[in-house]
Amino acid sequence: MTPSATTLGQQMERVQRNALFIGLVALLVSLIGLFMDPSHFWQSYLFAYIFWAGLALGCLGVFFLHNVVGGNWGVAIRRLMEAGLQTLWMFVLFAIPIFFALGFIYKWTDASYRAEHFAVGHKAAYLNPTWFIIRTLLYFAIWLFSGLRILKMANEHDRTGDPALFKRIKARSAPALLVFVITTTYAFIDWIMSLEPDWYSTIYGWMFTVGEVLLTFSFLVAVLVLLSKREPFASFLTRQHYHDIGNLMLAFTMLWAYMSFAQFLIIWAENLPDEIPWYVRRFSGGWGYIAWTISIFQFCVPFFLLLLRFVKKNPTRLRTLAIWIIIMRMLDVFWIVAPAFRQRGLEVYWTDLVALIGLGGIWLAYFIRNLKARPLLASNDPRDTYSLLKAHGHGH
């Protein structure tokens, strides 16, 4: 092991310890809110859970995507997304408290609410605690089975370099990607859209999935830039790697904006009483300021900056933009989740931040643990053609 690698390993070890300590302390502090105001605590816990679970799911989706479409961009971040998808186990465990707190979070668990709201009553066969728990566990079973099975095949390919195995990985990732899109769509409908069971949108789940993939690309490139000055990345990465990932960030920024605007335009234009209140709540009482902030700084600013090559090919600039998108995604998830409970106006509780830090610290420690377990760059990856170009003097 080189001195550079040793130093990087020590740094990762230190970050892992600090993240775990901060995460555990923050989570324990947030439990004070459970005794002070259980409703506020569970709202904050759900917000934190959805944000971090979405990032882990995004790693799984990007892993499948790269296996299907190929490209040099994924070779650079492959170990990062593999480390992220392996953290899905954590969210199975952290979903268990939610199962016991459904009555604090979801209105459809209240029999009197179902009786008073005709549309919700007709959804009782789908929206009930038993099936909610079964579906959630089924989603995770599908994600973990498909993700870990293909990851095992990818590890075997790294060891053997078998071309036939590489083809099987691609063939199995294509249907896995389709199942991933379908299951995440239903998961976000269950976890988030059902917070307001009178309301529905057919594009909602897809829109949220796209947003989480954008979050994932931003997180992965931010981590990649942090590691880029150390081996093995220092001699491997080219500006074209960053340019490719920047183009993908641009594509998912545009797709997220298109879906978000399409949903807003259709619902606002129809002005139907069972649909429009969702937006009325999120554009009034102070929530509108967050809506405009998200519109400008999660779409307009990143869109124009990601059109510029000197931004996408510059690691420092791209990392700064990626961190900004992560913050905006965090704000967007909060804007989607919190108004379902806080309908009097914009309210932020101290547990919102503490729960976010708590789950985030534990997740980051688990992520780094997975990342340290294997070499940071995969061997025998046939998609790595930029290294050949560099070897022949064509790197850029």
Quickly state the pLDDT bin for 117 (edges 50, 70, 90): confident
Q: What is the mean pLDDT of the chain?
A: 93
pLDDT for 386: 76
b/e burial code for range 326-344 (CB count within 10 A of at least 16 → b): bebbbbbbbbbbbbbbbee
pLDDT for 1: 47
Quickly state the pLDDT bin for 127 (edges 50, 70, 90): very high
The angle, 0 to 180 degrees and rounded to 10, between the axes of the packed helices 350-372 and 38-69 is 30
As a whole number of angstroms, the distance between CA 240 and CA 312 comes to 9
As a whole number of angstroms, the distance between CA 165 and CA 179 comes to 21
Does 389 have pLDDT greater than 70? no
End-to-end CA distance of the chain: 28
Angle at 186 between CA 181 and CA 192, to 5 degrees: 120
- pLDDT digits over 187-200, tens only? 999 999 999 999 98
As a whole number of angstroms, the distance between CA 85 and CA 78 comes to 11
- pLDDT digits over 160-177, tens only? 988 999 999 999 999 999
The size of the chain, in residues, is: 396
Which residue from 282, 325, 334, 317 is spatially nearest to 301, judged by alpha carbons?
325
